[in-house]
Amino acid sequence: MRDSFPALVTTVTGTGPGLLLAHGATGSVEGNFAPVLPALAAAHTVVAPDYPGSGGTPVAAAPLDLDELTDAVVDSAVRRGVGRFAVLGFSLGTLVAVRAAVRHPERVTALVLTAGFARPDDHLLGLLPGWRAEVPPALHPHIDLIPSLDTTGDLAEVAVPTLVVATTADSMVPPAGSRALAAGIRDARYTEIDSDHVAMVERPEEWLEPVLDFLHSLSPSEGKDGEAE
């Protein structure tokens, strides 16, 4: 990674199989996952990095790049001794998760993709100017990254068990984005929650039910908490 890309401030909680979180644009681990973290950590080693500009992580000195962000998120787990893990991505984090499965197949054991998309649609792109005006400048690089995103070509290369959770009342990322992920990833499981965008905050118990069922269904080899190499 570039010297201008900061190390991601990362928390590690719980014990058990590795579970790496990838939060949404302008979000943070705290903002996106706080209500569900205790339940996730009850049976998993949860590695939770904040992107540049989020949480305690400094702003990057150059524009964000999906591959570089993905590598930094993966590295946040490996540096802490968690060498294999499922990746749980939300919104922008679903693209990080998919790209991680393709770039680091020796690390990634499964994917959980919530309120996601493979590339932004016109609705999401139309929201970006107003969204950018509403958030602190430190988070503008997250929004500026979105128009360039496209993991459509990655989907067929994902070779790990995958759960896609669509948010059917989503005002930001329409559920069609999740349906496209499920259609493009071989043997992906698909479920829906009647929630707006941040389902983990708005419908935590409803979201946890399918997610924990899926994670607990993984074989020991798929969920194994490996050591860093």
Q: How many CB atoms lie within 10 A of CB 133?
A: 9
Residue pair 84/229 in contact by the 8 Å Cβ criterion: no
Residue-level pLDDT at 222:
57
Task: Give the β-pairing of 85-90 and 45-49.
Answer: unpaired
Residues 129 and 121: their CA atoms lie apart, in Å, by 14
Residue-level pLDDT at 76:
98
| Averaged pLDDT, groups of 10, the chain, 229 residues long | 82 98 98 98 98 97 97 98 98 98 98 98 98 97 98 98 98 98 98 98 98 92 46
Residue-level pLDDT at 223:
47
**Cα distances (angstroms) measured from residue 146 to each of 18, 96, 124, 198:** 28, 12, 9, 18
Model pTM score: 0.95
Residues 45 and 67: their CA atoms lie apart, in Å, by 24
Residue pair 49/89 in contact by the 8 Å Cβ criterion: no
Residue pair 128/180 in contact by the 8 Å Cβ criterion: no
Q: Please give the order of strands across the beta sheet that includes 162-167.
A: 10-13, 45-49, 18-22, 85-90, 108-114, 162-167, 189-193
Tokens 């609705």 belong to which residue? 123
Residue pair 25/172 in contact by the 8 Å Cβ criterion: no
Residue pair 110/86 in contact by the 8 Å Cβ criterion: yes
Residue-level pLDDT at 4:
72
